[in-house]
Copies of this chain bind each other. A is one copy, B any other.
């Protein structure tokens, strides 16, 4: 096998691996965002760094439950944590938000312009109603 061929193959493999990695990352991010408790935690962290206990306060569930949610957010890369004394301080990490946003952005054309089927429907309905 020629070196160029091998390298091409390797390149292709890397691409597949990279896409797979991105795909898995998106899985984790969207999965993490699909829970209201976790979205609330992120909203609270948007106001500044915070500890497990502080983040747990608004939620009517046990501390271990919130701790697990933080684990999910961390595994999705949406937060970072560091120990400060016996406290575990959390903060937002921007990158996965950016990735998710970029993915959604692709579908923007469906509501930016004439491709928006819902708008078509509403306009039709309005005409019929008036």
Expressed in whole angstroms, the minimum distance between the Cβ of A92 and any Cβ of chain B is 6
- Given A104-B97, A117-B80, A117-B91, A30–B33 Cβ distance below 8 Å? yes
- B residues within 8 A CB of A125? none
Chain B contacts for A31, CB-based, 8 A = 30-31, 34
Residue from A23, A31, A34, A39 whose CB has the most chain B CB atoms within 10 Å: A34
A100 to B118, CA, bound (A): 16
* Contacts A31-B31, A93-B117; A101 near B98 (Cβ below 8 A): no
A44 → B minimal CB distance (Å): 12
**Chain B residues, CB < 8 A from A118:** 93-95
Chain B residues in 8 Å Cβ range of A107: 42, 46, 92, 94, 97, 101
For A97, A101, A104, the residue with the greatest tally of chain B CB atoms inside 10 Å of its CB is: A104
User: In angstroms, how far is the closest chain B Cβ from the Cβ of A38?
Assistant: 10
User: Could you mark each residue 30-59 of chain A with 1 if its beta carbon is under 8 Å from any beta carbon of chain B, else 0?
Assistant: 110111100100110010000000000000
Provide the residues of chain B in CB contact with A13, threshold 8 Å. none
Chain A residues within 8 Å of B, Cβ to Cβ: 23, 26-27, 30-31, 33-36, 39, 42-43, 46, 80, 91-95, 97-98, 100-101, 103-108, 110-111, 115-119
